[in-house]
Amino acid sequence: MSANIRVTRSSNKDTHPGMPDMDEEVLSRPIPKPRRTKAQITADNAAAALKKSVKAEEAKSMKEKRTQLIESIATLENKMHDDEQQSEREAAHPPAKTTVMVPQPLSKGKGTKDSLIEMSIILMPGK
């Protein structure tokens, strides 16, 4: 019966008091933070509201900057389009030449298979 008695070594007596009563699951849990007071909650809410308003203001200013940038680009594009139309109006545009394809008659000495109707381009001004 003396085998059931537990004996602790003297060097380990104060090392981990209460460890045999705790299992690994209890030891692995994080220690909970103490609850916040009403003053802390109010201060945290005020800080969050301030942060949110600053973020909204930044977003608004970024949106305004983006709108101004888009408007300046649109103005530049309109100016480029107007310049292009003006240069198109003022450019010299000579009349286009018309071409007519006229077949040439076969000569009597070339009646072989390889001879085809030769075509020549005649420029006809004014048509």
Q: Which residue has the higher pLDDT, 80 or 12?
A: 80
Residue 13 scores a pLDDT above 80? no
Residue 22's φ and ψ, nearest 5 degrees, are: -100, 140
Query: What is the band of 19 on the pLDDT scale with cuts at 50, 70, 90?
Result: low
> How far is 58 from 65, CA to CA, in rounded Å?
11
Q: Inform me whether the pLDDT recorded for 28 exceeds 80.
A: no
> Virtual CA dihedral for 24, 26, 28, 32, nearest 10 degrees?
-170
Asked if pLDDT for residue 33 goes beyond 60, the answer is yes
- Cα 5 to Cα 13, 21, 22, 56, 125, distances in angstroms: 16, 17, 20, 70, 128
Instruction: Tell me the average pLDDT across 54-73.
Output: 97
